[in-house]
Structure 1
Amino acid sequence: MSTALVEREPGTSGSRPGTRRVLVVALALIALQVTIRGVLAFRGEFYWDDLILIGRAGTYPLSSPELLNYDHDGHLMPGAFAVASVVTWLAPMQWWPAALTLVVAQLVASLAVLRLLWLILGPRRVLWAPLLFYLFSPLTLPAFAWWAAGLNSLPMQAALAWVAGDALQLARTGRRRHAVSGIVVTLCASAFFEKSVLVPFVAFVTVALLYRVDGVRRPLRVAWQRAHPLWLGSGVVLAVWAAWYTTVVASRFGVPPWSMVAGLTHHGLSYGLAPSLLGGPWQWDRWNPSPPWADPPLVLVVAAWVAVAGALVWSLRCRTRTGWVWIAATAYVCASLVAMISTRFGPETTYELAQTLRYFADSSVIVAVAAALVLRSAERRPSGVRSRAVALACVVAFVVSSVWSTVTFARSWTDNPTGEYLATAMDALTEHPQDPVLDHPVSVWVLLPVTYPHNLVGSVFSSLPGRSDISDHTTALSVLDDRGVLVPAELMPLRGVLPGPVPECGYAVTDDVVTPLLLNEPAGDWEWTVELHYMAADDGAIDLGFPGRPRVSVPVTEGLGSVYVRIPGGGAALQVESATPGLNVCIGGGSMGVVVPS
């Protein structure tokens, strides 16, 4: 076959009005998708990792390495933290700018997918089919609605399509600006999600497969030769990024037991990915504070696998040279599975994790591209009227199924206590800003203790203007309850400070001696709250903490007083020292435990 086939653009011989009609319908579909997703986004609220993003954005400046280089549960995502910082600066603790970023990112991704499909199929009505799949498939819903997940996934989806489009343009025209564009987009996507290392490989495979279905000899070699500036430039970007990633991020890759591999694979494919190919799962389940997961009926699971098998048979029988398209798409899905299983398995991992779909969101682009390549390939058997009617019926059924899955997802997703909790807590913390609040965890229905220290009130509300001072010491206890209401609190004592050796003083604290405060029994490593009763000769401060751990500077006032201090660590004794030169303090005793609502 002549390499001239590489340059052919399907459908370009059509009339200009026909071309315009295809484009107008495609843009209208994108507008409809963005409208639906916009309603979903603006009805949402911050959730889980979102609070970690805005908490760190409120704690560190935009240019801070502590913000941009943070190892977030195995993710290196400076781009996402930068966006969170801008959003937090624009409207602290407000959801609307975060929702807007999701809608804009989705629009960019959808337009990038349309561009790629246009480059593969040209202005043909058949383009609408793979575009409809990408736009309305519930496969991308969970990663879209959750801001932190969307900041990972949506830039990658856009990059997968855009860089593949640049690669096709570079191969066809030889214009170096497409190489520059592809390299820049790859770099930007890598700043949001480490999985974006796959972007150049997907672009290369897309070009090679297009040559393959066009009948070009040695498609891999031709793909390399015609777009090698993009591949070489991307290689440099990935090498630099890999060095950065391995320096910053602690590896979370491991080898799970076979039972875990089999369970997560089965649930991820049969209950997650496969039903979404038919617009499923139709229904979702949820246990707050976990995200929703797909819960398809058995009939949909069976129908999905039958449909996949049927599409494979039809493709191999009716379209030329499409076998490698299926192999490549399957390999990508398997790579997503491997990444999820090897980094997220553990003794407490449930199989429902694989049904949350967010680990397969970028596969929606791959499926759309694979479908476009199959549709581009030459027909062995021309389609008749009956075949076109069946195809139209399948498209209508898919859209109806997807819309219903979107509706049911929205119902499940809006069952999120975080929004109401945050609104109530913000009112409580700004009502009496002159009253300090001891730092403490937010409700477990909002963030679990495993996210410590980002589950602390001081982190979550770090950007809230006009709030009470949230610190590690106070003279009066109050906490946010599970509703977000600020209520009086008390210390539940679990340990006690033994009486001191100095008569009528207890423990004599000076600025030149570290004084141990003995506990009635050793304390485990924890975030403890200590209540101390003291008598100070003057106003000043003391440093309090466990051996080998950071100390907390605690202000004291002249005369008798009591103070509550939040201290990390553990051991058989606390250590205290005067932080004010010449200050003498007597500590008569105290207790240590956890703070609970009165």
Structure 2
Amino acid sequence: MTATATRPAPTLVLPKTVSIAAAVVAAIPFLIHAIATFSGYFGQDDFVILYRAGSSGPFDADYLFQDYSGHIAPGMFLLAWFVTALAPLNYPIAVIPALLMQAGALILLWRLLVRVFKHRWGLLLPYALYAFSPLILFSTMWWAYSVQLFPLLLTMFGAFNTHLTYLRTREPKHIVTTLLWTAAGMAFYEKAALFLPLLLGFTLLLGERAPWRVWLAHGALLAGFVALYAGLTVSRIKEGLPRVEVILEFLRRSVFDVFLPGLFGGPWADPATGAAISTPALGLRIAAAAIAVAVIVGGIVVGGRKAVLAWSLLGAYVVVDLALVIITRLPEIGPLIGNDPRYTADAVPITVLCGAFAYSSLRLKRPAAGLLIVVLGASATFSYLWLAPGLQFEKAKQYVATAQAALKGNPSMVLYDTPVPDQIMSNWFFEDGKASRVIGLLPGPPKFDQPAENLYLLDETGTPQKITNVRDPVVGRPGPYEKCGYAVGYDTATIPLSGWSNGRRLLRMEYYTSGKGPVTIRLGKTTYEIQLTDGLHVLYLVVDDSFNRVDINRATQVDPMCVVDVRIGLPVT
């Protein structure tokens, strides 16, 4: 009898103590951010993106590759379609994918740090700087930005990890994987175009070299993306730069008022308009700048040439970040845009990686690392919770809930589409800044701008208010028949107006008839087919044309009708 060889039981590999500590460092801000995010709601661009998703398909190229304020983001729009198809206007469902990508980015960043620098307690400090960053956590409470930034960070760390694997194994398949990560990042945020110089700098910091075919492959991908982007978007680059003093003020706000304080646990300030942050106290800004200078100088003392290269890479990235704003957004909005952390939040992970390289030769002991992490984490959490209400969009949440309750009580209600308050959607959205974009995906769906006898509009709280008349009207001339006005039958009746009606207005018509049925109304170049009810009634009709008369007929076998009053103006509740 032959003895059978037995395999030894597999060894259970336990995570290093430092990795367990890293999991705690990541979990605390992640859970705080998740709780605060779930307490928020959609706001501003969110409603436009989701509304367009609701009327598009997953293979609609015009939808996926639309020019959205200078962004080409088919990945984001595909995700918006998915969450809308799954649960329209359901905020918790919409934010779950973003939170999953946030968690994935945290995991991949720690994996990258450990693979490059081994398990060190000192790594927890730069990792905490990323995980607790108020610049990232606050700005990503805005759903539309979270599904840009978190995919960018996830794919950035994925690309770094697979490129590192290639450098160590030289297996060509890892070049392909890195390119796939990069392409995925480009599908969500055009800043993924910067992966190529980042990977090149990363390679130099590692003291490695990659053959030209690697960079040619990345260059070809970048060239293809740039060609696609240029072909699908209208250039946002403005003619001529802003004045020097405007640029300097913008740089001061971006770097010294927001970015540096945010890196070191700040900004210890209130939220401002939109996603902006109020300017911290002068002493706090000076302290943050002094710490930044000390960190840079200390890194050079400790790391020498490698630190110089690391800080140069970070400086170049920040310069590109800010230059993009200067040539596109700054001329439109002004230097106040510097207070918006969305334009520098993506530089936080670059700071973390470059700082880790600059101090790679320093061995920070566990007590020192722990103390610094506690101080940084407590300060950053305090700042984040102070800022968080600014992007929870409580006004929008209440508006939608109020409208939804009213529509549930009266499903047949027809609404006149009106702009919503600026806190919900800014007035620069123009036609997209209306109630139909905000609540148009609610169950029903809500009816907007349809002919109706009873028409309502939503006030600033989302409460429907009944329209009772129109103001500043042009009116129909008196009809030829006493008590009937204009008799409308098979032949067209023409009702001349007291003047021209131009643009979007509301027509109010009083009529009576003994026979219900269709009527045709022609206003300028637009024709409406409407079903009338027998008896004495009022018809409200939303019009958007230029005309000075109303042509109306009943070219079917129904009784004539009498039109006794016509007026066209703006709604009055």
Q: TM-score range by the shorter chain?
A: 0.7 to 0.9
Contact 1:516 1:575 (8 Å CA) reproduced:
yes
Q: State the distance in 1 between where 2:390 and 2:344 align.
A: 20
Q: Which amino acid aligns with 1:555?
A: I
Q: State the distance in 1 between where 2:224 and 2:479 align.
A: 61
The change in CA–CA distance for 1:208 and 1:464 in structure 2 (over 3 A counts) is: same
Contact 1:453 1:459 (8 Å CA) reproduced:
no
Q: Which amino acid aligns with 1:175?
A: E
Please state whether the residue corresponding to 1:452 is helix, strand or coil: helix
Q: State the distance in 2 between where 1:580 and 1:452 align.
A: 39
Q: State the distance in 1 between where 2:294 and 2:311 align.
A: 13
Range with greater deviation from structure 2 (172-181 or 500-509)? 500-509
The change in CA–CA distance for 1:272 and 1:511 in structure 2 (over 3 A counts) is: farther
The change in CA–CA distance for 1:341 and 1:572 in structure 2 (over 3 A counts) is: farther
The change in CA–CA distance for 1:481 and 1:176 in structure 2 (over 3 A counts) is: same
Q: Tell me if 1:207 matches 2:230.
A: no
Q: Tell me if 1:424 matches 2:411.
A: no
> 1:565 deviation in Å?
2.4
Counterparts of 1:357-372 in structure 2, within 5 Å, are: 357-372=341-356
TM-score when scaled to structure 2? 0.87
CA deviation map 1:342-362 (0-9, x unaligned):
222345x25333212011111
Please state whether the residue corresponding to 2:264 is helix, strand or coil: coil
Q: State the distance in 1 between where 2:96 and 2:343 align.
A: 23
Q: State the distance in 2 between where 1:333 and 1:191 align.
A: 22
Q: Which amino acid aligns with 2:156?
A: L
> 1:503 deviation in Å?
7.0
Residue of structure 1 in register with 2:439 after alignment: 461
Q: Tell me if 1:488 matches 2:442.
A: no
Q: Which amino acid aligns with 2:417?
A: D
Residue of structure 1 in register with 2:570 after alignment: 594
Q: Which amino acid aligns with 1:296?
A: P
Residue of structure 2 in register with 1:409 after alignment: 387
Q: State the distance in 2 between where 1:401 and 1:511 align.
A: 78
Please state whether the residue corresponding to 1:108 is helix, strand or coil: helix
Q: Which amino acid aligns with 1:203?
A: L
Q: Tell me if 1:557 matches 2:532.
A: yes
> 1:516 deviation in Å?
9.0
TM-score when scaled to structure 1? 0.83
> 1:498 deviation in Å?
4.6
The change in CA–CA distance for 1:116 and 1:562 in structure 2 (over 3 A counts) is: same
Q: State the distance in 2 between where 1:519 and 1:336 align.
A: 57
Q: State the distance in 2 between where 1:75 and 1:31 align.
A: 32
> 1:393 deviation in Å?
4.6
Please state whether the residue corresponding to 2:419 is helix, strand or coil: coil
Match 2:327 to one of 325, 342, 356: 342
Please state whether the residue corresponding to 2:41 is helix, strand or coil: coil
Q: Tell me if 1:531 matches 2:515.
A: no
> 1:19 deviation in Å?
6.8
Q: State the distance in 1 between where 2:492 and 2:234 align.
A: 39
Residue of structure 2 in register with 1:273 after alignment: 259
Please state whether the residue corresponding to 1:466 is helix, strand or coil: coil
Residue of structure 2 in register with 1:542 after alignment: 520
Residue of structure 1 in register with 2:4 after alignment: none
Residue of structure 1 in register with 2:454 after alignment: 476
Q: State the distance in 1 between where 2:16 and 2:490 align.
A: 81
Contact 1:284 1:292 (8 Å CA) reproduced:
no
Q: Which amino acid aligns with 1:530?
A: L
> 1:466 deviation in Å?
2.9
Match 1:121 to one of 117, 121, 125: 117
Please state whether the residue corresponding to 2:433 is helix, strand or coil: coil
The change in CA–CA distance for 1:573 and 1:252 in structure 2 (over 3 A counts) is: farther
> 1:458 deviation in Å?
2.6
Q: Which amino acid aligns with 1:464?
A: L
Range with greater deviation from structure 2 (472-481 or 364-373)? 472-481
Q: State the distance in 2 between where 1:192 and 1:170 align.
A: 25
Please state whether the residue corresponding to 1:76 is helix, strand or coil: coil
Equivalent pairs, count: 555
Q: Which amino acid aligns with 2:317?
A: Y
Range with greater deviation from structure 2 (89-98 or 537-546)? 537-546
Q: Tell me if 1:263 matches 2:242.
A: no
Q: State the distance in 2 between where 1:532 and 1:464 align.
A: 30
Contact 1:507 1:517 (8 Å CA) reproduced:
no
Q: State the distance in 1 between where 2:300 and 2:441 align.
A: 57
Residue of structure 1 in register with 2:544 after alignment: 568
Q: State the distance in 1 between where 2:569 and 2:284 align.
A: 52
CA deviation map 1:87-131 (0-9, x unaligned):
122222221112212211111111222222223212222221211
Please state whether the residue corresponding to 2:462 is helix, strand or coil: coil
Q: State the distance in 2 between where 1:510 and 1:256 align.
A: 65
Q: State the distance in 1 between where 2:182 and 2:252 align.
A: 32
Match 1:328 to one of 301, 309, 313: 313
Please state whether the residue corresponding to 2:472 is helix, strand or coil: strand
Q: State the distance in 2 between where 1:343 and 1:534 align.
A: 54
Contact 1:430 1:468 (8 Å CA) reproduced:
no
Q: Which amino acid aligns with 2:358?
A: V
Q: Tell me if 1:520 matches 2:505.
A: no
Please state whether the residue corresponding to 1:474 is helix, strand or coil: coil
Q: Which amino acid aligns with 1:332?
A: Y
The change in CA–CA distance for 1:444 and 1:415 in structure 2 (over 3 A counts) is: closer
Contact 1:534 1:585 (8 Å CA) reproduced:
yes
Gapped runs of 5+ residues in structure 2? 1-11
The change in CA–CA distance for 1:68 and 1:507 in structure 2 (over 3 A counts) is: farther
Q: Tell me if 1:319 matches 2:303.
A: yes
Q: State the distance in 2 between where 1:442 and 1:396 align.
A: 43
Match 1:173 to one of 169, 173, 176: 169
The change in CA–CA distance for 1:423 and 1:134 in structure 2 (over 3 A counts) is: same
Q: Which amino acid aligns with 2:81?
A: S
Q: Tell me if 1:243 matches 2:227.
A: yes
The change in CA–CA distance for 1:491 and 1:117 in structure 2 (over 3 A counts) is: farther
Q: Tell me if 1:28 matches 2:24.
A: yes
Q: State the distance in 2 between where 1:126 and 1:589 align.
A: 81
Residue of structure 1 in register with 2:6 after alignment: none
> 1:553 deviation in Å?
3.1
